[in-house]
Structure 1
Amino acid sequence: MNAGQKKALSACFLFEGTALPESLPGECTTFEKGDVIYRPGDCRDSLAIVLRGKVNVYNLSCDKPTLLNTIGAGGLFGAAALFSGSRTYFTTVKAASTCELLFLSEAVFLEMLKNDPQISLNYIRFLTGRVGYLNSIINALTAGSAENRLACYLLGQKKNEFTLPVSCSSLADMLGIGRASLYRAFEHFEKNGTISRSDRHITVLRPEELLKYK
């Protein structure tokens, strides 16, 4: 395992509070920019950790691709579907740059969970966070006005300071509103002192105000 791979694994939430493996426990594969890594109906029976580079996660079920997330070194994907039994993947993952991925098969990852309770706990915490995030999206999509939808999304982040994982254009698509409506909603919350915003970095100053829009 080289220094870059160790750094990426150190940044991965799975290994928080526990020792890194002495060697890479799975299969390393390199992808070039634009390569499709996962798509609905065509995915590996594995969890993937980004060791180098970045990948983009898209929803292609709409009229146009919607960027849902960009995952860099230390991030992972495929966790929620690994033990689902259906082997169904609902998004498309493409290499945003030349990237190196570590694929952990179900058997390998299950062995890691059995041997290290801390990894098991980290995995459960991650899945719990994903459930909360998806609930925030559902709440936002059914909230009504652009302000209501944005408020539900911001509250769903569970933090008062964070960076949006996607562009405002992609966020507007995710929330089912126009970009102009999203910008007006941001402006509304900025003007009344509820949030401050610098590009994609958001600080929630008055969360109690956002609660009024749920």
Structure 2
Amino acid sequence: MDKAELKRGEWELITGCALFHGIDESVVAGVLETAGCRLVSLCKGAVVFDAYDYRNCLGLVLSGSVNVTKPSSSRYTMATLGRGSLFGSANLYDDDTAAVTVLTASSNCRIVFFPRELLETIMLETQQVALNYIRFLTGRVRFLNDKIEGLVSVNAEAALKQYLIQNTVTCGEKRIVRLHGSISALAETLNIGRASLYRAFEALRQSGSIKKNGKEIEIITPGGLSDFD
């Protein structure tokens, strides 16, 4: 592509993105002038990898926005990529033709694509680009770990609630659950990690749903198990 194709502010966006942060502008200009680097414009509603076969490329959104959905459902938007967002790392070294996600332009947008071969070349020539890419991937891994942790925590709490509901006995005016084994055994029974189980107990305790004294758990949510459920 030709640098002259860029609109106002797009050059600064490219040089300031995660991949080229701190890289000499002459190096970035050389990358853009490489034959494999392509700038494309998409109309609203266009599916990115249907319109252009850039599966083994890293893309940078220069303008507009792109919705990310699962191939099985276009109704649920997993994420929206805005100006300055990098995408495509999941497919960069994956030769499987099946799409992991579907990217659809949610508005008219402009995207610059960097093919795998070009990225490999500039990473070998400029170590800082390789380090920048590693930092970018590290950030993605951290983000996904946080998302997974959130899902696990919710599932662990739901599993613990169900267990408590099913094992509650009335003792006078109290509703009690007595644990007959270790926390590890309960975690195995519920098919969740022990750390997740501890966090689920703590979440219920902090919400005022339970009091835990050793292996005895008192259900204290006002209204009884119907509210607790």
Match of 2:99 in 1: 89
Match of 2:29 in 1: 22
Contact 2:55-2:91 at 8 Å conserved across structures:
no
Structure with bigger RCO (C-alpha 8 Å, 6+ apart): 1
Distance 1:120 1:88 in 2: 27
2:67 to 32, 56, 73: 56
**Which deviations, in whole Å up to 9, do the C-alpha atoms of 1:8-51 show, x marking residues without a partner?**
20331111111232252401111001111137xx7522111112
User: What is the TM-score of this pair, normalised by structure 2?
Assistant: 0.56
Change (3 A) 1:14 1:147: farther
| Residue 31 in structure 1 maps to residue 36 in structure 2 | no
Change (3 A) 1:119 1:53: same
Query: How far 1:115 sits from its partner (Å)?
Result: 1.3
Contact 1:27-1:102 at 8 Å conserved across structures:
yes
Contact 1:55-1:97 at 8 Å conserved across structures:
yes
Match of 1:158 in 2: none
What letter corresponds to residue 32 of structure 1 in structure 2?
Answer: C
Contact 2:63-2:83 at 8 Å conserved across structures:
yes
Distance 2:12 2:57 in 1: 21
Range moving further from structure 2, 112-121 or 128-137: 128-137
Provide the aligned C-alpha RMSD in A. Answer: 2.6
1:121 to 131, 139, 147: 131
1:70 to 58, 80, 100: 80
Contact 1:54-1:96 at 8 Å conserved across structures:
yes
Contact 1:81-1:88 at 8 Å conserved across structures:
no
Match of 2:152 in 1: 142
Match of 1:12 in 2: 17
Q: Figure out how many residues of one structure are paired with residues of the other and give that number.
A: 147
Query: How far 1:58 sits from its partner (Å)?
Result: 1.4
SS for the counterpart of 1:132 is: helix
Contact 2:48-2:103 at 8 Å conserved across structures:
yes
Change (3 A) 1:128 1:65: same
What letter corresponds to residue 29 of structure 2 in structure 1?
Answer: E
Match of 1:46 in 2: 57
Match of 1:109 in 2: 119
The percentage of aligned residue pairs carrying the same residue is 34
Query: How far 1:87 sits from its partner (Å)?
Result: 4.7
Distance 1:87 1:129 in 2: 26
Distance 1:4 1:117 in 2: 26
Distance 2:98 2:139 in 1: 21
**Which deviations, in whole Å up to 9, do the C-alpha atoms of 1:112-132 show, x marking residues without a partner?**
111111111111111112112
Query: How far 1:76 sits from its partner (Å)?
Result: 1.4
What letter corresponds to residue 38 of structure 2 in structure 1?
Answer: E
Match of 1:99 in 2: 109
Change (3 A) 1:87 1:106: farther
Distance 1:45 1:145 in 2: 35
Distance 1:85 1:97 in 2: 29
Distance 1:127 1:50 in 2: 17
